[in-house]
Amino acid sequence: MSTPRTVLVIGGGAAGNAVTILLRRAGITVDLIEAKDDWNATAGSGITLQGNALRVLRELGVWDRVAQSGYAFSSVGITAPDGTVLHAAEDLRTGGDDLPATVGMERPRLQGILIDAVRASGATVRLGVRAASLEQDDDGVSVTFDDGGEGRYDLVVAADGLGSATRAAIGITDRPEPTGMAIWRVAAPRPAGVTRTDLAYGGPAYIAGYCPTSDSTLYAYVVEAKRDRAAIPVASYADEMRALARHYGGHWPEITAHLTDPAKVNYTWFDRLLVEGSWHRGRVVLVGDAAHCCPPTLAQGAAMSLEDAWVLAQLLTASDTWDDALFQEYYERRVARVRPVVEASVQIGQWQLDGVRDADVPGLMGRIMTMLRELP
């Protein structure tokens, strides 16, 4: 690329951090703004990273730190509510045979690794700042910030998440829709026998599962029908999750014993979003959850966001012309991959909501994972 470029990235989650690192590596000037003062450094309990996510993290140059900080495993177990293992299946290595099938991590650890990489890249980072207005013309975007600052950019990358204000500001009316399920999550000490993800179907929850996130930690979750979040006091979160989790055996009693602090328990609905037609308006383009999201039934949310960043950066750094055709190519390349992931993730949950007992969940998951082995 011969023409100097300047990019504003709005949002410092996985997608925003990843695209910043990749664009800076190509010599592009990047400003990153993040609305939260702490850069989401302590948010979340755990995250499951399958091979295609690890492939992008390796491209970012952070794989060694991820490998040291997380917990790698290669299979998933299906159990009865009492903890009896009914089936164990080897996970497909969607990132290639030279990467683990899956790595579980504490979400703040992953965010910290990406933050360090962004800072090392030389990007300008401003925390506690939002874009107040975006004014576009044929040559770029003039941005006014809510702290009174201003900037002029060749491109704005909207990585500001599921509730993206940027998406709405550029006239994209798609909004996330609840699927009917909700999830309780908590980080807890890892029982010695937990060496992979195990999922229990049945009992009082649709799913009760856990994922090791280090040699000493895991995150556990139970999935139920969504309830009115406003009607559940935050102070009761530990009690609510414990009331569901106590019905499960195996390693669950040891995990449930640590369900005492409501501040460590997270409750969220499952949402679905897939922006159709294009993921840009002019010189503002969406990545990650701002463009799409799905229930975590396939554990592909972070992977799809990281892949967005990788593909967009590839296209931007390979072309001197940033125009509608390039941004449409980005959309078409990504939507062909994201759509089946979103639809399958929603379908798996819908089968449970509808009580379909003969659904071919393993077959559907196998088809999606086989697709994901291919480069995005």
Low-confidence ranges of the chain (pLDDT < 50): 1
Q: pLDDT for 186-218, tens place per residue?
A: 999 999 999 999 999 989 999 999 999 999 999
Handedness of CA 181, 187, 191, 193 (dihedral sign): positive
Straight-line distance from the first to the last Cα atom of the chain, in angstroms, rounded to the nearest whole number: 22
pLDDT at 19: 98
Distance of alpha carbon 326 from alpha carbon 154, whole angstroms: 14
Q: Does pTM surpass 0.75?
A: yes
Cα 72 to Cα 112, 175, 251, 323, distances in angstroms: 19, 35, 19, 41
Q: How many CB atoms neighbour CB 273 within 10 A?
A: 18
Q: Classify residue 248 as exposed, middle or buried by CB count within 10 Å of its CB (0-12, 13-18, 19+).
A: buried
Distance of alpha carbon 136 from alpha carbon 142, whole angstroms: 6
Contact between 73 and 102 (Cβ < 8 Å):
yes
Domains and CATH numbers, the chain: 6-70+107-176+272-372 (3.50.50.60)
Q: pLDDT for 59-97, tens place per residue?
A: 999 999 999 999 999 999 999 999 999 999 999 999 999
Angle at 13 between CA 31 and CA 373, to 5 degrees: 115
